[in-house]
């Protein structure tokens, strides 16, 4: 049983699409979970359809969505305050130092983050790399385990089979509820499934097919 789990992703909605089922499972077991969210996703392209946001209002909307999703997932939220789409330009050591300070206060037994260079978006890669570096800076005997999530299409051929594959279909309602809190982003993603698949079958079934398993690599230090 984990003592405390810390999730580190850069954008509001990364936690819901990427790890909400796993988070829900930990909360069912009574394990505390804290989300360190890197940015407010203020440069996101989705402004809702019909449009309900603009560049000025989007950060506030995404912040509200994030807070709602964290309520659904029953986890603590710490906003790190970085700017969307700029994490790759931040000093990696400074970000790692910032994360290390928070991690050492919380003393988690497990960290969940993105797998650097296998996480598609530059912000994902940069914050994942900083999180892994932060843990490396912690004394070996106090160091939490790191689960790194790879989301490139080639990750299995490049890295092998993930070490942890969580079947989250039992927690899928909670996962979908969390995803749908991020209304400004989720609608666009879900609509893209419609277009690409000509999706006749039930939306939840399609979502479960795509998102019913969450997989992670255990980072080897």
Query: What are the tens digits of pLDDT across the range 112-164?
Result: 999 999 999 999 999 999 999 999 999 999 999 999 999 999 999 999 999 99
Per-residue confidence (pLDDT) for residue 108, from 0 to 100: 98
Mapped onto helix, strand or coil, the DSSP state of residue 83 is coil
Nearest Cα to Cα of residue 161 among 85, 210, 213: 213
> Is residue 7 a contact partner of residue 146, using CB atoms and an 8 Å limit?
no
H/E run at residue 112: strand 110-114
5-218: CATH superfamily: LmbE-like (3.40.50.10320)
pTM check: above 0.75: yes
Q: Is the pLDDT of residue 200 over 60?
A: no
Per-residue confidence (pLDDT) for residue 36, from 0 to 100: 98
Neighbouring residues of 67: CB distance < 8 A, sequence distance ≥ 6: 77
Per residue in 97-115, pLDDT tens?
Answer: 999 999 999 999 999 999 9
Confidence of residue 23 (pLDDT cuts 50, 70, 90): very high
């Amino acid at each position: 049983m984990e003592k405390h789990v810390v999730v580190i992703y850069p954008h509001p909605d990364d936690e819901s699409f990427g790890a909400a089922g796993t988070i829900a499972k930990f909360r069912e077991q009574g394990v505390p979970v804290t989300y360190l969210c890197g940015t407010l996703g203020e440069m996101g392209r989705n402004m809702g359809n019909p449009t309900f946001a603009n560049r000025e209002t989007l950060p506030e909307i995404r912040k509200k969505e994030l807070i709602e999703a964290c309520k659904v997932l029953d986890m603590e939220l710490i906003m790190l305050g970085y700017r969307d789409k700029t994490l790759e330009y931040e000093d990696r050591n400074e970000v790692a130092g910032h994360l290390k300070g928070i991690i050492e206060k919380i003393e988690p037994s497990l960290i969940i983050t993105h797998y650097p260079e296998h996480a598609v978006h530059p912000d994902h890669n940069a914050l994942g790399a900083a999180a892994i570096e932060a843990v490396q800076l912690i004394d070996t005997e106090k160091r939490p385990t790191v689960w790194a999530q790879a989301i490139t299409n080639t990750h299995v051929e490049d890295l092998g089979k993930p070490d942890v594959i969580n079947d989250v279909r039992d927690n899928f309602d909670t996962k979908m509820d969390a995803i749908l809190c991020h209304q400004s982003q989720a609608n666009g993603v879900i609509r893209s499934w419609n277009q690409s698949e000509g999706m006749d079958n039930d939306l939840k079934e399609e979502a479960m097919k795509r998102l019913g398993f969450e997989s992670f690599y255990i980072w080897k230090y």
